[in-house]
Amino acid sequence: MVTDTELVNVLCMKWGTKYPADYVNRLYSMVARNMARPFRFVCLTEDGVGLDDNIDVFPLPQSAVNLAGPERGWNKLSVFAADLYGLSGKVLCLDLDLIITGSLDDLFDYPGEVMIIKDWIKTDGTGNSSVYRFEVGAHPEVLAKFEKSFDSIKKTYRNEQEYLSAELLAKGALKYWPDEWCRSFKRHCIKPFSFFLARETVIPKNARIIVFHGKPDPHEAIVGVSGKWYRHFKPAAWITDHWR
């Protein structure tokens, strides 16, 4: 159990040009408003220009695997190194394309070795790594195996979260957040289906985090841009109350 006075870690990663520094700064601001206990906010990035002074910035960890293009998403496994820039204790990893709508303190207290979102579609136990928590240095073999056998691993697993989930499930180390804590914008916030009518959007009851996986991103959802011809919704102006 984490005590109220214990410093905890919140970590995000930024690479490439898809998300600007403003996305990281907004994430830090949302965390600060929704954490009662002291925390350290860390961003691992190849470009720290424009990041808030309250954010601890470190380079993306070097990997034995040369990742480029779509494969760069596998970078997320680097946090499982035995040593991660001297960090210690529990780390809550957050993707940049999400908004925080409730307290995060319980995400540090919830029992489990590694906590992750239960994927909303897959039935094989795969987790969605938009929001997960682990103990620094607890599972370095996840990264070591990836670096040693990436060519064969990527033939079996579509992405890092499939591989990570399978490895930790095999060890009995993976558990899932309560369903209502982490919700999908496009699956849980958009009201019932219609091909033709723009729908209202809502924050699901008891949601702590809304995840914008795929399309749209938060800045698009605010103005009603869905990114899909078959998904129509009205501008979700309520996002601006949280995404700031």
8-176 CATH choice from 3.40.30.10, 1.20.140.10, 3.40.50.10210, 3.90.550.10 = 3.90.550.10
Residue 115 belongs to what H/E stretch?
strand 114-118
- Of the candidates 37, 9, 5, 34, the one whose C-alpha atom is nearest the C-alpha of residue 132 is 9
CB 40 within 8 A of CB 122: no
* Model pLDDT, residue 66: 79
CB 94 within 8 A of CB 164: no
Q: How far is CA 95 from CA 27, 100, 104, 182, 213, in A?
A: 9, 11, 14, 12, 9
- Burial of 121-144, coded b for 16+ CB within 10 Å and e otherwise, reads eeeeebbbbbbbbbebeebeebbe
How many residues comprise the chain? 244
* Model pLDDT, residue 120: 94
Q: What is the pLDDT of residues 6-41, one digit of tens each?
A: 899 999 999 999 999 999 999 999 999 999 999 999
Separation of alpha carbons 25 and 52, rounded Å: 6
* Model pLDDT, residue 63: 80
How do the domains of the chain map onto residue ranges? 8-176
Other C-beta atoms lying within 10 Å of the C-beta of residue 216: 21
Q: Record the pTM.
A: 0.94
* Model pLDDT, residue 136: 97
Q: Which residues of the chain have pLDDT under 50?
A: none
* Model pLDDT, residue 237: 96
* Model pLDDT, residue 228: 87
